[in-house]
Chains A and B, each alone.
Chain A
């Protein structure tokens, strides 16, 4: 069975500094990996995904993530944090063998607070 770990419940970063939100995964075969964000009082929004190809994936709002197969990681990064980036971030994995089903396995989420 697949699993996702987000080791940090909360990440605090000063505005303008780089940010990293960590994610590691466990899945048989090659994973499909996703990051979603939940802003206060809003639903989950897709940020970016890795399916295949370049290990560095660029997504919405200036975010990017790097797929590292040897470390089974998919950390989310942004070079310069904005206060408006403060939100709850979820990493998710999909087992590619699940044909026809887009069932995702999520991590617990990491609360990002960007301090002005």
Chain B
């Protein structure tokens, strides 16, 4: 079974530009999560999809962030316009049914200059 795939692995953009991160979850998994780690800080929850619906988006920092999951398959996280403080690693995850565990992708590192 393929794991959670994220791309790009690293994106370097200038302040004010737009970036879109993509997550391809484990096939057939309805629940998809986005997390973010700003350098030296905690990994923080951003939002949770169940299929194509946003179950909980309480962790989204502000309206510069837009997450979508069309058709309940892959998900995108767009940052527009990017600010310096958006730099960090963005993780996508599925939860493993019946185990309580989250299975994470390798993350997308965003650097805003």
Partners in one complex: yes
Chain B window 70-107, contacts with chain A (Cβ cutoff 8 Å), 1 for yes, 0 for no: 00000000000000000000010101000011111111
Do the beta carbons of B43 and A106 come within 8 Å of each other?
yes
- A34→B33 CA distance, assembly (Å): 17
Do the beta carbons of A102 and B102 come within 8 Å of each other?
yes
Q: Quick check: is A101 within 8 A (CB to CB) of the other chain?
A: yes
- In the assembled complex, 26 residue pairs joining A and B whose CB atoms fall closer than 8 Å, in A order, are A4-B42, A34-B101, A36-B104, A42-B106, A43-B4, A43-B104, A43-B106, A44-B43, A44-B91, A44-B102, A44-B104, A44-B107, A46-B102, A100-B55, A101-B55, A102-B48, A102-B100, A104-B43, A105-B45, A106-B42, A106-B43, A106-B44, A108-B40, A108-B41, A109-B42, A109-B43
A49 — which chain B residues lie within 8 A by C-beta? Answer: 100-101
By DSSP majority rule, is chain B's interface helix, strand, loop, or mixed? strand
- A42→B91 CA distance, assembly (Å): 11
A90-B43, A107-B42 known; A102-B31 Cβ under 8 A: yes
Tell me the nearest residue of chain B to A102, going by C-beta: B95
Q: Quick check: is B14 within 8 A (CB to CB) of the other chain?
A: no
Q: Which residues of A contact B (CB under 8 A)?
A: 4, 32, 34, 36, 41-46, 49, 51, 90, 92, 94, 100-109
Count chain B residues whose beta carbon lies closer than 8 angstroms to a beta carbon of A.
26
Tell me the nearest residue of chain B to A44, going by C-beta: B104
B35 — which chain A residues lie within 8 A by C-beta? Answer: 106
Do the beta carbons of B48 and A101 come within 8 Å of each other?
yes
Tell me the nearest residue of chain A to B44, going by C-beta: A106
Do the beta carbons of A102 and B33 come within 8 Å of each other?
yes
Tell me the nearest residue of chain B to A92, going by C-beta: B43
With A43-B106, A44-B104, A92-B43 already in contact, 13 other A-B pairs whose C-beta atoms are closer than 8 Å: A34-B101, A43-B105, A43-B107, A44-B93, A49-B101, A101-B48, A101-B55, A102-B31, A102-B95, A103-B45, A104-B43, A106-B44, A109-B42
